[in-house]
Amino acid sequence: MSQAKELPIVVIVDDEPEICTSINRCLMRVNAQVHSFTSPRQALNFIKEHEIALIISDQRMPDIDGHDLLKQVRNLAPQSTRIMLSAYQDFDDVSKSFNEGIIDKFISKPWKNVDLVFAVENAINAEHSIESKVTSSKPVAGDIIGESTVMHTLKQQIKMAAGANVPIFVHGETGTGKELVANACHKASSRVKHPFIAVNCANFSEQLIDAQLFGAVKGAYTGAVKDSQGIFAQADGGTVFLDEITTLPLGIQAKLLRVLQEREYTPLGSTVCVSFDTQIVSASSVKLSDAVNAGEFREDLFYRLNVIPLSIAPLRERGEDIAILANYFLSKFSKEQGKQFTDFASSTTSFMKQYHWPGNVRQLENTIHGACIMHDGTEMTREMIENILQQHVGFNQNESTSSTFIENDDENVVPLADVERKAIESAIDKCNGNISQAAALLKVNPSTIYRKMQKW
Ligand SMILES: Nc1ncnc2c1ncn2[C@@H]1O[C@H](COP(=O)(O)OP(=O)(O)OP(=O)(O)O)[C@@H](O)[C@H]1O
């Protein structure tokens, strides 16, 4: 066999010959044989005769569209990596193709060459290092623990969203792992070697968040004693994670919209425009659409940021993940604390599966951490967990019909919002009204409490 034949085969399909040519040019430095087709039918005929490693297809084509083409390729060459090129407005269709296992990744048009090369090289390297490639085992979103169907779907969506180079919005209750997901999107993209910088929008006044994001020149506001670089500049080439985006003051919402539209910003007090290249991931525990309806968030900014929406289910809705996460945290903290814990008593596991976890994974993590510090033994009992919950959120061991449990009897079910409110109010009471201390007890940001109080 000649050297050329051993190179992995990459197929490009786009009805526009210029697009084929520019992808070809972009992949010139990739170690692969690249074949391009303007006709999906010709591409299929080629694929029937050759073992391909990867296919990049346009989404909208006359005759056979990208979805149908890649579906056929999945059947003909299930081991191949399938990338769809798409204008992001078609995200719903792309998402469907993805969930059906038809595509592995999508890249928006116009694409960045670095993203395309990164995706192709990754796929080819994976292909070469693992004889039989299993798509779901690619090392993406690896830090996210969870085997439930919803978490599998989320991990797939992260793989797809990373590198698409359009804004991603992550929604989930407090402590569900929004920052973790944002970071996974960063790590799975070609921006991985550049910084990932997170900023909690709720922690600042309008002026400070402006300076924090876009920088400020000396004297722009009281306290600006020297020029400062904003997060957009610091994260250049990487990712900016804007947490609790709905708390952004309206003035900054307007500025952010302009910045995203024009791809440049002006530091506070300056007249010089600065262009930037960063991926934007934003997140909120409030649905963006709800914030828009409540008049707290600009609708035009909503459309800009919500291009790829990712949603994380609350922990209580993914029972099988509770045991997996709990075991992971037990082994981690037991080791860290020099303890002997190796397992949970079976009653502990069923207790943890029944509990509502209003603070989600963060609360589970902190509870097990606390139990590892405060208790000893080889098996972690239900009492140890209850004891920590009692200290943190005033959980009452004697209340058999405790509102913190998921009840089977519909009439006794207490809305989660009430459970959460009770936990927060009880923590605030314990701290004599000190929100920062209450937040520390609940292991959430003070901004989370302020936001919820505002809502009540
Ligand atoms: N699926 C998961 N696997 C492993 N750790 C997780 C997972 N989800 C969350 N965590 C852990 O839970 C904690 C909270 O996660 P994170 O800060 O990402 O949540 P969040 O939704 O951004 O919280 P907040 O709404 O308060 O900003 C972190 O320590 C994180 O590592």
pLDDT band at 322 (very low <50, low <70, confident <90, very high): very high
Gap between the Cα atoms of 279 and 80, Å rounded: 28
pLDDT band at 133 (very low <50, low <70, confident <90, very high): very low
pLDDT in tens, 335-353: 999 999 999 999 999 999 9
Task: Specify the residue for token string 């919402």.
Answer: 253
The pLDDT, as a whole number, for residue 399 is: 43
pLDDT in tens, 286-321: 888 888 998 889 999 999 999 899 999 999 999 999
26 alpha carbon – ligand 1 mean position (Å): 37
Gap between the Cα atoms of 183 and 194, Å rounded: 12
Gap between the Cα atoms of 369 and 390, Å rounded: 14
Q: Radius of gyration of the chain from Cα atoms?
A: 25
Question: Can you tell me which atom of ligand 1 is nearest the CA of 172?
Answer: 21
pLDDT band at 411 (very low <50, low <70, confident <90, very high): low
Gap between the Cα atoms of 173 and 448, Å rounded: 10
Question: Can you tell me which atom of ligand 1 is nearest the CA of 365?
Answer: 12
Q: How far is CA 371 from the centre of its chain?
A: 29
Q: Are 243 and 199 in contact (CB under 8 A)?
A: yes
pLDDT at residue 142 is higher than 70:
no
Domains and CATH numbers, the chain: 7-137 (3.40.50.2300), 162-311 (3.40.50.300), 315-414 (1.10.8.60)
Tell me which residues have their CB closer than 6 angstroms to ligand 1: 144-146, 172, 174-180, 243, 285, 325, 361-362, 365, 444-445, 448
* Six token digits for residue 249: 């003051």
pLDDT at residue 41 is higher than 90:
yes
pLDDT in tens, 42-100: 999 999 999 899 999 998 888 898 889 999 998 888 888 898 887 665 566 766 777 67
The pLDDT, as a whole number, for residue 3 is: 42
- Between 393 and 66, the more confident residue is 66
The pLDDT, as a whole number, for residue 129 is: 38
pLDDT at residue 171 is higher than 70:
yes
ipTM for the complex shown = 0.98
- Between 399 and 49, the more confident residue is 49
Q: Quote the pTM value.
A: 0.69
pLDDT in tens, 424-450: 888 877 776 667 678 888 888 776 776
